[in-house]
Amino acid sequence: MTTTERLLNVSKEIWEAYHEHPFVKGIADGSLDKEKFKYYMIQDYLYLIDYTKVFALGAAKEKDLSAMKLFAGYTHAILDGEMDIHRAYMARLGITPEEAETANVALDNLSYTSYMLRVAYEEGQAEVAAAILSCAVSYEVIAKKIVEKHPEALNHPFYGEWVSGYVADAYHEENQVLIDLMDRLSDGYSEKQLQHLEEIFMACSRYEMAFWDMAWEMRR
């Protein structure tokens, strides 16, 4: 069993619960209140700013040049790739990037990014990868399950773009690079170290669920 397989296995129960969350189900069938989605988009935009910093810290701490390039490359992929999805939606919702960047960060959001940044500042490269991986891979898993159950979701006039972005081959390929990096950085880890990676991954998986709760309840 690879490290990533081990992390996914230990978090299986909470990942299965993502698919039953009302926010996710609302995207799947197109019934989600756009005000809730608007709130989510602003918070996720703010989240991605700090998420990018975690990658940047991974690059700064990395000694291996190839891994450094991967971490650094993802800062570009997020800032000029994933965040483009957010900017497009925000434009449709009448939100400017300036408005989003000056919005208040919800407490659940702040707690999540603060945890990841603490891991990035205090721990090693494999631990940084574990903190990053939950968000990146869970979105692909969620979007693919949506398409599996609701193929028409890809063509929804509003939410279809969100679903399409996370089932795209390019997004999967980026995630596979992260998975390979996770497994490589943790190669040779002791059982105690692997258990610590599980703790980090599980914490971030729980934060992902809290993020969906926050968005659904529009919790400040």
Residues forming the active site: 135, 208
Q: Which two tokens stand for residue 136?
A: 């990146």
Chain centroid, CA 85 distance in Å: 14
Kindly state the tokens that stand for 173.
Answer: 């390929």
- Which tokens is 156 given? 């929804």
85/182 Cα distance (integer angstroms): 26
For the chain, helix, strand, coil in percent to 5 are 85, 0, 15
- Residue for token digits 């992902």? 208
Q: What is the DSSP string of 53-115?
A: HHHHHHHHH--SHHHHHHHHHHHHHIIIIIHHHHHHHHHHTT--HHHHHTSPPPHHHHHHHHH
Contact between 135 and 44 (Cβ < 8 Å): no
Question: What backbone torsions phi and psi does residue 22 show, to the nearest 5 degrees?
Answer: -60, -30
124: left (phi over 0), alpha (psi -120 to 50) or beta: beta
